[in-house]
């Protein structure tokens, strides 16, 4: 009698920057063939991972491993929710937010060893207007940057940081009305992020205290700020203390409604999509079985991230200084106009 678990590896050949041929060879070499019956299927088009994973779940495959980035993981996981099939992850993308939260190593061989150990936990997932997400979703600047990043010719952390800083110079915050079980509130916000997991990816923590297993989402409202605040905000996102910033408001809830003035872009797990003005975000408890790493497997902080932020700030310093100078000139004009009106009132 065959007691091996059936394991299907879904490989996205174009995610991230790694050579997937090398990844496939490592799967064949390091996956436990005594424990698993292994098949490897490459994706051929957007959405293919969902189709493959759905068929695997219908066929009773024990484990489906997503080999790719956050988009591949989202496509795979959405087909496995509320099934008996377990999700595994070999992170090969640009951000790898969910994998990092689950303590999956970024090294392919070590990630395969986590699959071999097969420690399973059942986690929550979310939906934004019925679109599943497993890490984060949101509106505002992070959704706008997701769209810019998707349009960029090259991937990687430096591209993401450069886009973030460059576009942050001129992004206009919006006014949102949000409603949950505690009532409704109105905010002018740079972004609103609903987090199931703690980070966007690359160890940029937007919700440091978020848990995948508490049945709640952490809602982060970032109020408008100046470019003088940006270095501190960047540093706090990297060291996991962004929730202590005075520009950040947080709350926890199971369900949230967001109203904005017009339709626009949103993101789910970093992928942008256009959506209507009214949004509903909810958390579904204990909906997905995943293989997790141990505390010993916790990925080390990317020491190059902060250097990338510094380099990007240095590259954009002329633009930043021009923007600050323009703001200063506008303030001087407003001050002169205010003084003129005060003098006129005094002479009446």
- Work out the angle between the directed axes of helices 157-168 and 304-347 (0-180°, nearest 10): 0
Give me the pLDDT at residue 303, please. 47
Distance CA 29, CA 87 (A): 20
CATH fold for the domain made of 131-284: Tumour Suppressor Smad4 (2.60.200)
To which residue do tokens 């600047």 refer?
141
Other beta carbons within 10 angstroms of residue 154's beta carbon come to: 8
Write phi, then psi, for 51 (nearest 5 degrees): -65, -45
Give me the pLDDT at residue 126, please. 98
Q: Do 5-118 and 131-284 agree at the fold level?
A: no
- How much is the CA Rg of the chain, to the nearest whole Å? 23
Per-position pLDDT tens, the chain of length 348: 568 999 999 999 887 655 667 899 999 999 999 999 999 999 999 999 999 999 999 999 999 999 999 999 999 999 999 999 999 999 998 789 999 999 999 999 999 999 999 999 999 999 999 999 999 999 998 898 888 767 765 555 555 555 566 666 678 899 999 999 889 999 999 999 999 999 998 888 999 999 999 999 999 999 998 777 877 888 898 889 999 999 999 999 999 999 999 999 999 998 999 999 999 999 999 999 999 998 765 545 544 554 555 454 455 555 555 555 565 566 566 667 666 766 666 655
Give me the pLDDT at residue 238, please. 86
Give me the pLDDT at residue 296, please. 62
To which residue do tokens 């700020």 refer?
225
Give me the pLDDT at residue 264, please. 95
β-bridge partners, 37: 6
Give me the pLDDT at residue 64, please. 98
Residue by residue, what is the 3-state secondary structure of 194-210? Answer: EECCCEEECCEECCCCC
Note the helical H segments in the chain.
Answer: 20-30, 48-58, 70-78, 97-101, 108-117, 141-151, 157-168, 230-239, 304-347
Answer yes or no: CATH 3.30.70.2190 is held by domain 5-118: no
β-bridge partners, 256: 281
Q: Is 54 exposed, middle or buried (0-12, 13-18, 19+ CB in 10 A)?
A: middle
- What is the domain partition of the chain in residue ranges? 5-118, 131-284
> What pTM did the predictor assign?
0.83
CA proximity to 66, closest of 35, 36, 104: 104
Give me the pLDDT at residue 175, please. 96
């Amino acid at each position: 009698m065959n007691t091996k678990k059936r394991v299907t590896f879904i490989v996205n050949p174009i995610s991230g920057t790694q050579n997937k041929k090398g990844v496939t060879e490592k799967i064949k070499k390091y996956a436990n063939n005594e424990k698993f019956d292994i098949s490897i299927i490459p994706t051929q088009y957007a959405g293919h991972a969902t189709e493959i994973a759905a068929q695997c779940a219908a066929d009773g495959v024990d484990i489906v491993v997503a080999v790719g980035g956050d988009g591949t993981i989202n496509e795979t996981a959405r087909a496995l929710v509320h099934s008996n099939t377990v999700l595994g992850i070999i992170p090969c993308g640009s951000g790898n937010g969910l994998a990092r939260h689950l303590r999956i190593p970024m090294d392919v061989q070590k990630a395969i060893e986590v699959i071999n150990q097969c420690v399973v936990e059942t986690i929550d997932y979310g939906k934004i207007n019925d679109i599943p997400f497993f890490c984060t979703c949101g509106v505002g600047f992070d959704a706008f940057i997701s769209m810019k990043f998707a349009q960029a010719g090259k991937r990687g952390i430096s591209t993401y940081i450069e886009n973030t800083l460059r576009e942050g110079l001129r992004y206009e915050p919006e006014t949102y009305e949000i409603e949950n079980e505690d009532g409704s509130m109105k905010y002018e916000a740079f972004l609103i992020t609903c987090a199931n997991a703690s980070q966007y990816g690359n160890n940029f923590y937007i919700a440091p205290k978020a848990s995948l297993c508490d049945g709640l989402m952490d809602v982060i409202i970032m109020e408008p700020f100046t470019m003088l605040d940006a270095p501190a905000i960047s540093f706090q996102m990297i060291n996991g203390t962004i929730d202590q910033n005075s520009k950040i408001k947080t709350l926890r809830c199971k369900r949230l409604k967001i109203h904005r003035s017009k339709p626009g872009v949103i993101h789910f797990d970093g992928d942008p999509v256009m959506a209507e003005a009214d949004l509903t975000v909810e958390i579904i408890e204990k909906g997905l079985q995943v293989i997790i790493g141990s505390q010993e497997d916790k990925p080390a902080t990317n020491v190059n991230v902060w250097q990338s932020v510094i380099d990007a700030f240095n590259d954009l310093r002329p633009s930043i200084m021009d923007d600050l100078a323009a703001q200063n000139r506008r303030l001087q004009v407003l001050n002169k106009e205010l003084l003129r009106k005060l003098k006129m009132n005094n002479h009446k």
